[in-house]
A and B are shown apart, each in its own frame.
Chain A
């Protein structure tokens, strides 16, 4: 079968004022796979995510979502294909979980019409998938960090996207809740066929759950490849400046990485 690319990035460069933040990035995202972007602080990971999600306008280059330039697309059209879980979800809103998930249907509606039965079914499915049934009438500002992240995720999947972008979805969570989110993301990929692109800090999570890793260093893509290819190849030593030790996870056969010391 031919490879189908949901997302293509051609020669993308972005600057804040005169400072370049990412330079000449080319990237192809294949349908149905999980990709993790890793790299040191300030390497441009979040900037890349914000450019893909249309929050930053590139200086040169383009982002193609199913062969259409995202900046030539209607915002709603893009939102029907691509959903984003943002990094900082501070909000003055005191919306309930259920209402928040209903906002996920916004792009599928016209302003004059309310929810129809299909919308309600999808909202119900999103709440069930994220195990939020018991919390659906709670306000999001009363939830714990892990619960809240699940609520935002439920909102994103209610968009029924083909591709889901996640910007550090686990950073502020404890270990159990981190795993919970990673398992959920992996489930969505397997069961719903959603293509996943995420920025992760935890390299072991990235290695365990991704089909491919994208390593970014100094505003550019340093290397892209399978977890084994990336972790074995001393890439991390060069990129993060740490001495590494790699072992194999007996159960998943994925590489496990341990940072021994700073080089």
Chain B
């Protein structure tokens, strides 16, 4: 029967996939808290999480691993959502905050505050947001030719990324005496992050997640094409601008706490698209969850594989991401 809904296209299937990702999220969370130089049993994790018994396990779980896992999850959510949004508004499946320079824009402005004006450290997320927006605006200007041209988005994005990347390197060279941990920033790292960083990013994640889910239907209409969307009554320019700002907001907040963590925004929305299709009403929640899962697992891996040495999680992501990117190009 032509009219039968295939199971793969049904709502139940999409919800099943989302449920599986939630299970993975829980597994990743427990694993991340259990593994490391000090192994903590599952039962102990929950015991020490709930009450402060002064034990070394409590120390390790509460002060180090738990906030780090939460931060990994939140950064993953933000980057995955930023990627999902950008792919829609820029009409390009390869748009990812890392690849097209949104993250480097955020990074440059963030680093500039950190090393040149360290007394204003609290302004880093805001500066990062302006950097990300600036990058987005430049990409639009360069890529616009009677509409958003997908190829031009990538070309302009790569150029913008290189430009801001050079700015970051330049800043680091000029202020080499002040850049402790700048290397981990460049590669993206979760090491030594704790509750203050969680507090920084959490409001962004909550606001961003709520907004993208509420307005997901508008993005569904936007990807039909500008003229079609306008004909349907969508204010195309306003929707594109606000979603871009939202993506910049999400990416910038992630960059300000974990540095330039690439590829999450590329791999996650694509995997979700392959699994459950293009409907943003499902894609957003599913991407958010898978983003959290991916960064949590990658960080646990980065932390434990060469223990006691820690690899920046960004390197793990790049090792995963680069082949995936090539696979997408070849497809």
A86-B231, A104-B232 as given contacts; A92 in contact with B217, CB under 8 Å: no
B223 contacts chain A at the CB level, 8 A cutoff: yes
Identify which of A86, A106, A137, A159 contacts B225 (C-beta below 8 A).
A86
A106 and B219 CA atoms in complex are apart in Å by: 12
Using a Cβ–Cβ cut-off of 8 Å, how many residues does chain A contribute to the interface with B? 42
A117 contacts chain B at the CB level, 8 A cutoff: no
Q: Does more than half of chain A's interface fall in helix, strand or loop, or is it mixed? A: mixed
A88 and B230 CA atoms in complex are apart in Å by: 14
B227 contacts chain A at the CB level, 8 A cutoff: yes
Partner-binding segment picked from A28-36, A73-81, A242-250, A252-260: A73-81
* A109 → B minimal CB distance (Å): 9
B277 contacts chain A at the CB level, 8 A cutoff: yes
* B209 → A minimal CB distance (Å): 17
Check A103–B221 contact: CB distance below 8 A: yes
Using a Cβ–Cβ cut-off of 8 Å, how many residues does chain B contribute to the interface with A? 29
Interface residues of B in 181-221 (CB under 8 A from A): 214-215, 217-218, 220-221
Please indicate the chain B residues that have their CB under 8 angstroms from the CB of A107 in the complex: 232-233
A150 and B91 CA atoms in complex are apart in Å by: 24
Check A134–B3 contact: CB distance below 8 A: yes
Interface residues of A in 35-81 (CB under 8 A from B): 50, 53-55, 75-80
Check B220–A83 contact: CB distance below 8 A: no
Check A91–B224 contact: CB distance below 8 A: yes
A235 contacts chain B at the CB level, 8 A cutoff: no
B9 contacts chain A at the CB level, 8 A cutoff: yes
Check A79–B231 contact: CB distance below 8 A: yes
Please indicate the chain B residues that have their CB under 8 angstroms from the CB of A111 in the complex: 214-215, 217-218
Task: Write the B116-154 contact mask toward A (1 if CB under 8 angstroms, else 0).
Answer: 000000000000000000000000000000100000000
Please indicate the chain A residues that have their CB under 8 angstroms from the CB of B9 in the complex: 96, 137, 139
B39 contacts chain A at the CB level, 8 A cutoff: no
A106-B221, A137-B3 as given contacts; A94 in contact with B228, CB under 8 Å: no
* A170 → B minimal CB distance (Å): 18
Q: Which residue of A lies closest to B235 (CB)?
A: A75
* A154 → B minimal CB distance (Å): 13
A92-B93, A95-B278 as given contacts; A53 in contact with B3, CB under 8 Å: no
* B186 → A minimal CB distance (Å): 32
New A-B pairs, 8, CB < 8 Å, besides A75-B235, A156-B231: A16-B146, A54-B230, A77-B233, A91-B224, A95-B220, A106-B217, A111-B217, A135-B3
In the assembled complex, 20 residue pairs joining A and B whose CB atoms fall closer than 8 Å, in A order, are A53-B230, A75-B233, A75-B234, A82-B231, A86-B225, A88-B225, A89-B225, A89-B228, A90-B225, A91-B225, A93-B220, A93-B224, A94-B277, A96-B9, A104-B232, A111-B215, A134-B3, A135-B3, A136-B3, A139-B9
